[in-house]
Amino acid sequence: GKWIYDFSEGSKDQKDLLGGKGANLAEMTNLGLPVPPGFTITTDACRHYLEHGRTPEELDAQVTEHLQALEKSMGKTLGDPADPLLVSVRSGAAASMPGMMETVLNVGLNDDSVQGLAAQSGSERFAWDSYRRLIQMFGKTVLGIDGELFDEALDEAKREQGTESDLDLDAEHLRDVVGRFEAIVREHTGADFPQDPREQMDMAINAVFDSWNSDRAIIYRRRERIPGDAGTAVNVCSMVFGNLGADSGTGVAFTRDPGSGAQGVYGDYLQNAQGEDVVAGIRNTVPLADLERIDAGAYDELMATMARLEAHYRDLCDIEFTIERNKLWMLQTRVGKRTAGAAFVIATQLVDEGLIDMDEAVRRVTGDQLGQLMFPRFVSGGNATQLTQGMNASPGAAVGKAVFTSEAAATWVQRGEKVVLVRRETNPDDLSGMIAAEGVLTSRGGKTSHAAVVARGMGKTCVCGAEELQVDTRNRRFTAPDGTVVNEGDVISIDGSTGRVWLGEVPVEPSSVVRYFEGEIDPESDDADDLVRSVHRILTHADESRRLDVRTNADTPEDAARARRFGARGIGLCRTEHMFLGDRRQLVEKLILADGDAERQAALDALEPLQKQDFLEIFEAMDGLPVTVRLLDPPLHEFLPDLTELSVRVALAEERGEPDEGNLRLLAAVRGMHESNPMLGLRGVRLGLVVPGLFAMQVRAIAEAACERKRAGGDPRPEIMIPLVGAVQELEAIREESERVLAEVCEECGIDVAPLIGTMIEVPRAALTAGEIAGSAEFFSFGTNDLTQMTWGFSRDDVEAAFFHQYLDKGIFGISPFESLDREGVGELVRIGVENGRQARPDLKLGICGEHGGDPDSVHFFHEVGLDYVSCSPFRVPVARLEAGRAAL
Ligand code: ADP
Ligand code: MG
Ligand code: MG
């Protein structure tokens, strides 16, 4: 097989084979850019090495062949004592894993060739500096010697010369450092530093292969979801030298600002240094713009090269370069990482520069990035003091009083306070506190800790692993590293995007992107910044491209109005259960306790006008757009008092000798309705069938509200949705009753309203019998929350907090199936439902209203299976619009 490619043989599209670094070195070589010649050993060879514990048979001969070709083109021989060719041996996997694997520079130097290098370059100092670097890097990464030993020896030498800078060490000093380094190698390996250049190279190659499985590389891959068996390529690249003096140096650069996307000169440069010095922070770098003053010729060539790269890659690139005696060399490039905001700005800039079209611009940004731009942000300034910085586990800006227990969180919030829950780490018992709090701060645990996983799932701000904080739960306080003690009730601010924690209130403001969605910033006006303008253009194009409609889940007129401003074209899920809470609880109690038809009807009659009022306002907010109202779904006992609490109340009253008749009856009812698995109990359509008149009352409220809106000149478009149907017979019964009520109301009002009647598909049986169900349903809405619960047999409330973080750690799934639709399982049921439903009724309207409606990956799936719309929470509407556009392109 062919295990090696010369830089002139490959291209940027061969990342899987050559790794990102190798593929792009090849691309630059073929563009005619100044890349030091070299070759790439493929990832295939690495996989072979990892699998068999040794390199492929032919590799050695192929290395010899390519090395000879390299030597010929350079006119030098590796490690030649008189005039040595030196090479770097560099890792480079297909997926970028910055700093995770090894690179060795100056391979080919030994006690003899260091003299040749000195003679050829005319600089003794440079030669010894290069040699000490080789022993240092090789000793650490290839021979596995603790790098600190070398660092200490170097520091010691600097101390002896009374300096802190390596530049103050002259040739003599550095020769002395080499001696000390060689001694370290001898002491720790029992052998001399390898003097044979080819042996050095082979050892370095194997060390790079091995670094694929270093602990930090494994951890990094797990976190970034990079497959563990891909392997790394190895790049052997002839050395160029930035450490030859003041006319040399090395640097990194971006073709635009990766923070904001702004055009300009961004990067760092370090004179008289070798590559790794820049990142290692050995000395202070200067801004790249200063290079113009230091070396105008090299600077101009660099600028031209960067422009060339951008035009070629049609994207922001980051690069590594070295200047050797005023000559520019390119050592690396790749399409650079950027912030969410920069991604939008750069995409539209590139359109304006004619490098990409709008379709491509939409493809270049993601819903996740848009989501990040919608979080409120802390305004800098104010007089809060930063206490520490933890891990940015779940983005957002939260301000509130510190509380230390879940109970305290709930109590304080009931009093109308905003709180931040502070814990050493959270556990499932903290769930209610996490729900109540503005944000969560923990001193232990990483980004997959309980707190982090649950907070992200809830979209709640979270900073975790703030290890400098001493959290004292018992005494309800924590101590910051500077000794500041924060007691329960003290206001703190936490930034889930940066991990920062402050004492005091840092002011927050809505992001400019949200103000644009709210209609407060006109994207065409001067108020709009580059970001708002870019978001507007990209979303407009996504809207023009998408096939999926986007609706919202909203139960209040306020939410409906906001979602409409955010671009929702209707409501896909209007839950009616909140309409049974608050003061209306008493009416529900009456309904449940009703003795006989008359009492029950009285209770329903009292509820009906209240329901109607709710619908009137929502229909008005969504005038002209569909509003899918779901009839009552949760078990009725959710509206009743808590069993334990009520038992205590009754017992106390009895002790006092004043038993309360009403409470006794209520207690009996609560006991009678107790369910072990409420999720699988009396709820949804089952309620409608078991509690006479309940759904009829809701249908009547919908119909009357619609008539009234019409009479007022409005255009209400209600749709009636029956939850939790598993058999067509259930739906038929409710449908018959509903149609009767609708006809009655139309008759009474003299106005025609004919809402569509449809069902949720959220019980596996419904998906499997969708063909029959479609006979009685004008639309389906996939309730993917329940469908996920029932397909996996997970009760979401119980499992998510209890053990999902362990499932994620163990890799049983990469992401919670409640967050992103499980395509193979739940998705298959959706597909069956779609196909069978449409077959039975070609004009069946199909939508989804689970939380997956706002999840980018899931939106793509729903596009693929051919749904008509997705429905999601108001804040996710723009994300869904963008992803629906991306799915269609
Ligand atoms: P990483 O992937 O960690 O960036 P690299 O392989 O890019 O590792 O190398 C580390 C540093 O060494 C970089 O700054 C790079 O520019 C520099 N470097 C690598 N190869 C050479 C070379 N042949 N000549 C000069 N500098 C080099
Ligand atoms: Mg690099
Ligand atoms: Mg449901």
473 annotated among ligand-binding-site residues: no
**Fold held by 249-335:** D-amino Acid Aminotransferase; Chain A, domain 1 (3.30.470)
User: How close is the Cα of 479 to the center of ligand 3, in Å?
Assistant: 44
Q: How far apart are CA 708 and CA 318, in angstroms?
A: 62
Q: Is the CB of 239 under 6 A from ligand 1?
A: yes
Q: Is 148 annotated for ligand binding?
A: no
Check residue 227 and give its pLDDT.
85
Instruction: Tokens for 250, please give them.
Output: 């090395």
Listed in sequence order, the residues at least 6 apart from 774 whose beta carbon sits closer than 8 Å to its beta carbon are 780, 836, 837, 838, 840, 841, 844
Atom of ligand 1 nearest to the CA of 235: 6
Q: Do 706 and 614 form a contact (C-beta atoms < 8 A)? A: no
Which pLDDT does position 281 carry in this prediction? 66
Do 774 and 780 form a contact (C-beta atoms < 8 A)? yes
Residues 375-509: name the CATH superfamily.
Answer: Phosphohistidine domain (3.50.30.10)
Q: Are strands 327-335 and 491-495 parallel, antiparallel or unpaired?
A: unpaired
CATH of domain 4-238: 3.30.1490.20
CB of 217 within 6 A of ligand 1: the answer is no
User: Is the C-beta atom of 280 inside 6 A of ligand 1?
Assistant: no
Residues 6+ apart with CB under 8 A from 442: 390, 422, 423, 424, 425, 426, 449, 451, 462, 463, 464, 465, 466, 471
Q: For ligand 1, atom 14, name the residue with the nearest CA.
A: 275
pTM of the model: 0.86
Nearest bound ligand to the CA of residue 849 = 3
* Closest residue to atom 18 of ligand 1, CA basis: 275
Cβ of 105 closer than 6 Å to ligand 1, yes or no, is yes
> Please, are residues 735 and 742 in contact by the beta-carbon 8 Å criterion?
no
HSE-up (13 A, CA, CB side) for residue 743: 6
| Protein residues within 5 Å, CB atom, of ion ligand 2 | 320, 332
Which of 18, 88, 272 to mutate for ligand 1's pocket (most ligand atoms within 8 Å of CB)?
88
Is position 575 annotated in a ligand binding site?
Answer: yes
Q: Is 785 annotated as a binding residue?
A: yes
pLDDT, averaged in runs of 10, over the chain (889 residues): 96 97 98 98 96 95 98 96 97 87 94 97 96 97 95 95 91 97 97 98 96 86 80 97 95 90 90 83 84 97 97 95 97 91 96 97 96 87 86 89 95 94 88 90 82 77 93 96 96 93 92 95 94 98 98 94 97 91 84 90 94 96 98 89 87 88 87 89 96 96 97 97 98 97 96 96 98 98 96 87 81 87 97 98 96 95 98 95 98
- Please say whether the beta carbons of 730 and 761 come within 8 A: no
Taking alpha carbons only, the member of 723, 728, 734, 747 closest to residue 697 is 734
Q: Is 407 touching ligand 1 by the criterion CB < 6 Å?
A: no
Residue 746 designated active-site: no
Please tell me whether residue 243 adopts helix, strand or coil conformation. Answer: coil
Annotated ligand binding at 784? The verdict is yes
Q: Is the ipTM of this complex over 0.85?
A: yes
Instruction: Report the alpha-carbon distance of residue 265 to residue 259 in Å, rounded.
Output: 13
Residue nearest to atom 9 of ligand 1 (CA): 103
252 Cα nearest atom in ligand 1: 14
Q: Which of 849, 852, 860, 872 is catalytic?
A: 849
Q: Which residues contact 416 (CB under 8 A, 6 or more apart)?
A: none
Q: How far apart are CA 829 and CA 769, in angstroms?
A: 10
* Domain boundary assignment for the chain: 4-238, 249-335, 375-509, 546-635+675-888
CATH class of 546-635+675-888: alpha beta
Q: What is the residue with the minimal CA distance to atom 10 of ligand 1?
A: 276
Q: Which of 48, 173, 450, 805 is catalytic?
A: 450
State the pLDDT at residue 429: 78
pLDDT in tens, 85-131: 999 999 999 998 877 788 999 999 999 999 999 999 999 999 999 99
Instruction: Say what the pLDDT of residue 283 is.
Output: 78
Contact (CB, 8 A) for 763 and 787 = yes
